[in-house]
Structure 1
Amino acid sequence: MTTVSAAPTAAELMSAYLPGSSSLFASPSGTLLAEGTFFAVPPSGRQEGLADLARRVDAVLRVAEAAGHEVRTVVGAVPFAPDADARLVVPMRLRRGGPPVASPFRATPTATGAGTVRVRPVPEPSRYQDAVARAVHRIRAGELTKVVLARSLRVDAPHFDARPAVRALAAREPGGYTFGVDLGDGRTLLGASPELLVKRSGRRVVANPLAGSAPRSADPVEDARRASALLASAKDRHEHIVVSAAVADGLRPFCRDLDLPAGPSLVRTATMWHLSTLVTGELLDPAVSALELATALHPTPAVGGTPTVAARAAIAELEPFDRGFYTGMVGWGDAEGNGEWAVTIRCATADADGLDLFAGAGIVGDSDPAAELTETTAKLGTMLAALGLSDVA
């Protein structure tokens, strides 16, 4: 009699997750734990960045096949800037399990060996509002249509342990995309994104752009009012249409029977309401991988703005930090072309001394600086809750 071992649960894989030597990615489709490194995808060397990333990944997967390595999958993250180096590896071992489930798990990892935790905003809230006001002025002057402006919190927490935070994020947001990715040099990218950039399974393609947001309320009546107001908001619906149309346009050359709903629906996280559109289609060419689709879409106007070049220039001028992997993409892709890539938001980058948390808001001509500050504060709440910190944003 042959005994078939059950697949591990998400909780079991998260218990085995070790920052610095493994990476974890959990979604409604299941959980992946990538342990060790067999081969890392090399940098372009020609500052091509995204332009040849899929080719370099294909080459590495062929190396794994030629070596008889049983894992034919890359796992990791791609940064926001198109010419920055990705962190993608073929692991020594890849374990797959079920999706996360909601639980009351709460974490206070910053208190472990950290002493007094200090939180510093970058920039100061007043300076962030000034940057939003400057962006609104440019938009009204016709220089661009939309720009996403982010702010950061620096959490000084020596000896930070990412494991409890990752488990807390998955327990709090089981319907999202939870990740803990080894970036090398003692750094870890961790978070719980609500937004699927693109998923490919066989010939089926799915994308789920989010744009237009409102903070949630602990009062059910007020929470329902905010959701209804968001769905009816002309400003937010316009912002969302720009993003969902851009995603559909990016997928259209690769797909047939592309379905783009006429209007957005609502999705919720623990801290936010979002306008959402589920875009689906069927691949024309089965040789096109999930990573190729993802790089064709990245960055969407949901994380950069439009027009892309003008938005990038505004971000470089108005944001006083390098985004790094924030608003990039995180996930996995295999040798058959299947894969799942989420937009890297609701996240932090951890190092030996603490973490940098990030959150952004889409700025359009009708944006109010105080309201955008409130929105980013609510978005930062996802990571702050996982860290066991009070609302200090």
Structure 2
Amino acid sequence: MSAAKPATSGAELLAGYRPGSSSLFASPSGTLLAEGTYFAVPPSGRPDGLADLAHRVDAVLGVAEAAGHEVRTVVGAVPFAPGADAHLVVPMRLRRGGPPVASVSDEAAAPVKQIRPVPEPERYAAAVAEAVRQINAGRYTKVVLARSLRADAPGFDPGPVVRALAGREPRGYTFGVDLGGGRTLFGASPELLVSRHGAQVTANPLAGSAARSDDPAEDRRRAEALLRSEKDRHEHAVVATAVAEGLRPYCSSLTVPAEPSLVRTATMWHLSTLVTGVVADPAVSALRLATALHPTPAVCGTPTAAARVAISELEPFDRGFYTGMVGWVDATGDGEWAVTIRCATADEDGLDLFAGAGVVAGSDPRAELAETTAKLGTMLAALGLEHSDVV
């Protein structure tokens, strides 16, 4: 993080986060608070903006250096669709601090007046059933289908929710990104797409999930059942293999564990593989690695092209930045990019929450509906709502 200010506490940066005028990204390795906009990365103008995104970011960082601007870091978010515009900026000011710590926030967000599911739960279950039919017909082998909740909350302030998420999930990747026009992307993702620090490359694909239980014995049973599940292990193996294959051309060495492990959030158990490697060419930035991986089968499906078509046919909304990537990259190539899940997009009237589930040949529509409800728990808890508020 070149040109960042001297280190301070993550809590201080969280307290200084102001939606609309700053963006925040907090991870187990530290916290970034980006204030103002010095220069925005221009849109591509190509059908696949990912193809030249790293080049455009390098060009903007070069402009900042040539002008003598002290910040040489780009911060922001990249959407799910390859043709949609990313929102990435060189900030006017960049402050760096330690990672967040577990805490309880007593701040209150604007009250949510009404929640509407998009689509209705039965329509989502029907879409999952249709996806299983298409999988059995050989159109693709996996697709990730999402659903959304529209929460009416005039005057909603994402700031308290971002601080609550950072305290609730300090081992995750908490973010609040100013999208302009009064819109904010915020959430707490458990999944690291990829990071690069010096020559060290790390990715942590997650796939295969189970809801947590408040009963310790039942919670352990669910975790052990997930670790033994052939369906979930297969789903996870597809994702872990895709990530490893995506990174291998850029690394001089790569370590991929043979077996998945378990990781937990406050609401979910996940199967996890920690992939580590050494970048072969120091000119390959964290963002270049991220664009090589995005989207993984964990958020799209496989084969990618066929899964994208199915998503466009079966999901009745535009994902926007959901299942994209969020993070930062600096002029040295270091950076961190998380998968944009467990998130919401806020505007002046309220917010849209998102969650998805991986559909394969053996998927049960009701079980996938229940999984999306459990995944929505991260955001619902931060909003002071319960699972009973949704189906």
Shared fold (TM-score greater than 0.5)? Answer: yes
1:252 pairs with 245, 248, 253, which one? 248
1:316 pairs with 312, 315, 325, which one? 312
1:107 Cα deviation from its structure 2 partner: 4.8
| Counterpart residue number, 1:202 | 198
Gaps of 5+ in 1: none
CA shift in 2, pair 1:107/1:273, >3 Å: farther
State the AA in 1 paired with 2:88. L
State the AA in 2 paired with 1:378. A
**1:265-317 CA distance string (max 9 Å, x none):** 00000000000000011111111000000000000000000000110000000
State the AA in 2 paired with 1:360. G
| Counterpart residue number, 1:62 | 62
1:141 Cα deviation from its structure 2 partner: 1.4
1:75 and 2:75 correspond: yes
| Counterpart residue number, 1:93 | 93
1:290 and 2:256 correspond: no
| Counterpart residue number, 1:272 | 268
Give TM-score, length-normalised by structure 1. Answer: 0.97
**1:340-370 CA distance string (max 9 Å, x none):** 0000000000000000000000000011011
Corresponding residue SS for 1:109:
coil
**1:358-392 CA distance string (max 9 Å, x none):** 00000000110111011000100100111112221
Inter-partner Cα distance in structure 2 for 1:129 and 1:107? 36
1:110 Cα deviation from its structure 2 partner: 2.7
Inter-partner Cα distance in structure 2 for 1:52 and 1:23? 24
State the AA in 2 paired with 1:86. A
Corresponding residue SS for 1:240:
helix
**1:190-236 CA distance string (max 9 Å, x none):** 00000000000111100000000000000000000000000000000
State the AA in 1 paired with 2:310. A
State the AA in 2 paired with 1:182. D
What RMSD in Å do the two structures reach over aligned CA positions? Answer: 1.0
State the AA in 2 paired with 1:346. R
Inter-partner Cα distance in structure 1 for 2:386 and 2:90? 38
1:130 and 2:126 correspond: yes
State the AA in 1 paired with 2:175. F
Inter-partner Cα distance in structure 1 for 2:37 and 2:47? 24
Asked if 2 retains the 8 angstrom alpha-carbon contact of 1:122 and 1:152, the reply is yes
- Percent of aligned pairs with the same amino acid: 77
| Counterpart residue number, 2:175 | 179
Inter-partner Cα distance in structure 2 for 1:220 and 1:185? 45
1:106 Cα deviation from its structure 2 partner: 5.0
**Aligned residue pair count:** 385
Asked if 2 retains the 8 angstrom alpha-carbon contact of 1:34 and 1:92, the reply is yes
Asked if 1 retains the 8 angstrom alpha-carbon contact of 2:6 and 2:95, the reply is no
Report runs of 4+ in structure 1 exceeding 3 Å deviation: none
Asked if 2 retains the 8 angstrom alpha-carbon contact of 1:104 and 1:172, the reply is yes
1:1-393 equivalences in 2 (<5 Å): 7-111=7-111, 117-391=113-387, 392-393=389-390
Give TM-score, length-normalised by structure 2. Answer: 0.97
1:11 Cα deviation from its structure 2 partner: 1.2
Inter-partner Cα distance in structure 2 for 1:277 and 1:283? 19
